[in-house]
Amino acid sequence: MDVRSLQLFLTLSDTLSFSRTAEQRHLSLSTVSRALQRLEDEVGQRLLERDKRTVRLTLAGERYRDYAISTLAEWQRLLGDLRPHSGDLRGEVRVYCSVTASYSVLSPILEQFRRDFPRVEILLRTGDYADAVARVQSGQEDISVVARPDKLAAALEYQTLQHSPLQFIAPAFPCAVVEQLQQLQQLISQEQDFSWAEVPFIVSERGLSKDRLDQWFRSRGERPRIYAQVAGHEAIAAMVGLGLGVGVVPELVLHNSTFRDKLQTVAARPRLGEFPVGLCALKQRLDNPLVAAFWQVARRSYATPI
């Protein structure tokens, strides 16, 4: 019994669907399945009756649901009571992130932070996430939202907040690129040879998503046909949304893109894996009470997303 599993169970009992729960919680189907197995194991009772097509609460499940609701409420109350009430702290914190992150990842944090520290100003700068680590290291920013670096400099502190799978995206309207993909799709279903090397790609100049895509092509023994190299995921989404080619972005970016309904995902194999999003700061800077406070608030916002 812990916060995460209780929340998971509530989502399950709401949706009565493992797959939708997985989606909503940004988890894989197997994770959800196993998490529920653990819960059932822990209480020694089946909580959800499932028979291949439908899922519904057992009696024990209903009881558990009540329990989960009240326990989470208590937990929220506790967090509320214990919230550091430093309304008198004042100053500023410099934060850097991508445009997408500013309203997807950062907005719940900012909201909470403003409530707890109304006197502290947030100087928010946005730009390519690939610059984020460098800007923190150089001292230009206190905190950045970044993809977790493979190697973390010892002077840096990092904290994962969220994961988002990297997705291939393509235009969602008839155009040359889409036709090409459909042909490819046919070859795949007929188990014939096929090649991604002809498809025009919009790629990042650098950063984790570029690395992953490079690796993906290497693993297939092919080389991408690069239509354009741009800075930032938003730019990729934009260009793909204009029908210029295929690209790779974290699902997070896709969901928040203004081009969302002009874009579709492509189920290319193997998958590109998860894109871990988190905060990064100089350890040294975390001594600063304001920076530390921001860090704390961020962690807590993500420990208990409603």
Partner DNA sequence: TATTGTATTGCAAAAAATGCAATACAGTAT
Partner DNA sequence: ATACTGTATTGCATTTTTTGCAATACAATA
Residues engaged in binding a second copy (CB under 8 A): 1-3, 41-45, 60, 63-64, 67, 70-71, 74-75, 78-79, 81-84, 296-297, 299-300, 303
Q: Which does 45 bind (CB under 5 to 8 A by kind): a second copy, DNA, none?
A: a second copy
Distance CA 165, CA 136 (A): 25
Give the one entry of a second copy, DNA, none that residue 29 binds, where binding means its C-beta sits below a cut-off of 5 to 8 angstroms depending on kind: DNA
Does 33 bind DNA (CB under 7 A)? Our answer is: yes
By the 8 A CB rule, do 133 and 207 touch?
no
Q: Which of 282, 265, 275 is nearest to 210 (CA)?
A: 275
Q: Choosing among a second copy, DNA, none, which partner's interface includes residue 184 (Cβ < 5 to 8 Å by kind)?
A: none
What does 75 interact with, of DNA, a second copy, none (CB < 5 to 8 A by kind)? a second copy
Residue 18 near DNA by CB under 7 A: yes
**Least distance in Å: CB of 44 to DNA?**
16
- Please answer whether residues 12 and 48 qualify as being in contact, where contact means their C-beta atoms are separated by less than 8 angstroms: yes
* 34 is an interface residue for DNA by CB under 7 A: yes
Count residues near DNA (CB under 7 A): 32
Six-digit token string for 171 = 């235009």
Residue nearer to a second copy on the CB measure, 238 or 297: 297
In this chain, which of 90, 119, 218, 271 binds DNA, going by CB under 7 A? 271
CA atoms of 30 and 107, how far apart (whole Å): 29
DSSP 184-251: HHHHHHTT----STTSEEEEESSSHHHHHHHHHHHHHT---EEEEEESSHHHHHHHHHTTS-EEEEEH
